[in-house]
Structure 1
Amino acid sequence: MHRPSAAEAQFAAELAVVRPGLAARYAAELPGARAAVLTRLWRGLTHEPLPWIAARQTGRDGLTLRLSDGRRLHGPHPDPYATAAYVTVVRLDQAAYDDPARLMTGLGVPHGAGLAAELTDSVLSLALSRAGQASRTEKWPVSDWEWEQRIVDGHPYHPNCRSRPGFSVAEQLAYGPEHRPLVRLGLVPVRVDECLMTGAWPSELRDGDRLLLPAHPWQAEHVLKRAVTEGLDAHPLMSLRTLALTDGPQHVKTALSARLTSSVRDISGYSITMSATLSEFAEALSEHTDGLLHFTRTLGAATADSPDLAAVLRESPQVYGDRVLPVAALATTHLPNSPAWLAEFTRLALTAGLRLLELGVALEAHGQNLLVVLSGSDAPVRLVYRDLADIRVSPARLARHGVPVPALSGRIVTDDETTLRRKLFGSLVAGALAATAGSATALRGALEIAVRDLPRTPDLAALLEQPLPAKALTSMRLSPGTPGDQWTELPNPLF
Structure 2
Amino acid sequence: MDRVDLKPPAGTVGQRADAYAAAPLLNCLLREVAEPVPDPGERPVHRLPGTGRLLRVRPGRRPADPEVHSAGAWHRLSHAELVKLVAEELRRHTGLSDGDLSAEMIDSRDTVAALLAARARATAPEDPYLRSEQSLITGHPYHPAPKARGGGPAAAWMPYAPEAHAHFPLVLLGVREDQVAEEGDTRALDALGTAPPGYRLLPAHPWQLDLVARDLAPAFTDGRLLRLGTTAFDAWPTAAIRTVYEPRRDLFLKFSLDVRITNDIRRLWRHDLLKLRRTDAFATGAFAAMGTPAAWLSDRGYRTAAFAFEELAVLVRDGLRGHLLPGATPLLAAGLAEGFEDSPPAAGSDPQAWWEAYLRQVVPPALTAFGDHGVVLEAHLQNTLVAVDAAGMPVQALFRDAEGVKVLPDVSRATGWERLVYCLVVNHLGEIAAALAEHHPRLDPWPAVRRELARHDLPEIPALLAAPTLPGKTNLLLRWTGADGAAARYLPLPNPLATG
TM-score, scaled relative to structure 2 = 0.80
* Equivalent position to 2:323, from 300, 303, 320: 320
| Pairing 1:358–2:371 present | yes
C-alpha spacing 1:97/1:263, structure 2 compared with 1 (3 Å): farther
| Pairing 1:346–2:359 present | yes
Instruction: Output the CA distance in 1 between the equivalents of 2:240 and 2:170.
Output: 15
Instruction: Output the CA distance in 2 between the equivalents of 1:174 and 1:300.
Output: 27
| Pairing 1:75–2:75 present | no
| Pairing 1:376–2:376 present | no
- Within 5 Å, give how 1:94-493 maps onto structure 2: 94=71, 96-106=75-85, 107-108=87-88, 109=91, 110-112=96-98, 114-133=100-119, 141-142=126-127, 144-202=129-187, 203-204=190-191, 207-225=196-214, 228=227, 230-232=229-231, 233-245=234-246, 248-305=249-306, 306-321=309-324, 322-330=328-336, 331-332=339-340, 333-337=342-346, 338-359=351-372, 360-395=374-409, 413-417=410-414, 419-438=415-434, 445-453=444-452, 454-466=455-467, 467-481=469-483, 484-493=487-496
AA aligned opposite 2:27: R
C-alpha spacing 1:112/1:373, structure 2 compared with 1 (3 Å): same
Instruction: Output the CA distance in 1 between the equivalents of 2:280 and 2:484.
Output: 31
SS at match of 2:200: strand
Indicate conservation of the 8 Å contact 2:302/2:314, yes or no: yes
AA aligned opposite 1:222: L
Q: Which segments of 5 or more consecutive residues in structure 1 lack a partner in the other structure?
A: 1-24, 396-412
> Which residue number in structure 2 is paired with residue 9 of structure 1?
none
Deviation at 1:297?
2.2
> Which residue number in structure 2 is paired with residue 41 of structure 1?
25
C-alpha spacing 1:352/1:135, structure 2 compared with 1 (3 Å): farther
Deviation at 1:276?
2.5
SS at match of 2:482: coil
Indicate conservation of the 8 Å contact 1:279/1:388, yes or no: yes
Q: Which moved more, 1:477-486 or 1:211-220?
A: 477-486
| Pairing 1:32–2:26 present | no
AA aligned opposite 2:284: E
Instruction: Output the CA distance in 2 between the equivalents of 1:472 and 1:379.
Output: 33
Q: Which runs of 4+ in 1 moved over 4 A?
A: 92-95, 134-137, 226-229, 439-444
Instruction: Output the CA distance in 2 between the equivalents of 1:143 and 1:209.
Output: 42
Indicate conservation of the 8 Å contact 2:270/2:310, yes or no: yes
Deviation at 1:214?
1.9
Instruction: Output the CA distance in 1 between the equivalents of 2:173 and 2:228.
Output: 9
Deviation at 1:387?
0.9
AA aligned opposite 1:221: D
Instruction: Output the CA distance in 2 between the equivalents of 1:440 and 1:57.
Output: 28
AA aligned opposite 2:310: P
SS at match of 2:173: strand
C-alpha spacing 1:190/1:89, structure 2 compared with 1 (3 Å): same
Indicate conservation of the 8 Å contact 1:101/1:116, yes or no: no
Indicate conservation of the 8 Å contact 1:141/1:147, yes or no: no
Indicate conservation of the 8 Å contact 2:299/2:402, yes or no: no
SS at match of 2:212: helix
AA aligned opposite 2:50: S
Q: How many residues align?
A: 443
Instruction: Output the CA distance in 1 between the equivalents of 2:446 and 2:365.
Output: 15
Instruction: Output the CA distance in 2 between the equivalents of 1:270 and 1:211.
Output: 23
* Equivalent position to 2:68, from 65, 70, 91: 91
* Offset from partner CA, 1:111-140 (integer Å, 9 cap, x none): 446322211111121123233335999x99
Deviation at 1:487?
1.9
Instruction: Output the CA distance in 2 between the equivalents of 1:167 and 1:213.
Output: 26
Alpha-carbon RMSD: 3.0
Provide the identity percentage: 25
Indicate conservation of the 8 Å contact 2:104/2:151, yes or no: no
Deviation at 1:93?
4.3
Instruction: Output the CA distance in 2 between the equivalents of 1:120 and 1:451.
Output: 39
Indicate conservation of the 8 Å contact 2:379/2:428, yes or no: yes
Instruction: Output the CA distance in 1 between the equivalents of 2:132 and 2:371.
Output: 32
Indicate conservation of the 8 Å contact 1:468/1:492, yes or no: yes
* Offset from partner CA, 1:292-314 (integer Å, 9 cap, x none): 42111223202324321111011
Deviation at 1:248?
1.4
Indicate conservation of the 8 Å contact 2:99/2:482, yes or no: no
SS at match of 2:239: coil
Instruction: Output the CA distance in 2 between the equivalents of 1:380 and 1:481.
Output: 37
C-alpha spacing 1:270/1:114, structure 2 compared with 1 (3 Å): closer
Instruction: Output the CA distance in 2 between the equivalents of 1:140 and 1:34.
Output: 26
Instruction: Output the CA distance in 2 between the equivalents of 1:279 and 1:423.
Output: 18
Q: Which segments of 5 or more consecutive residues in structure 2 lack a partner in the other structure?
A: 1-8, 221-226
> Which residue number in structure 2 is paired with residue 399 of structure 1?
none
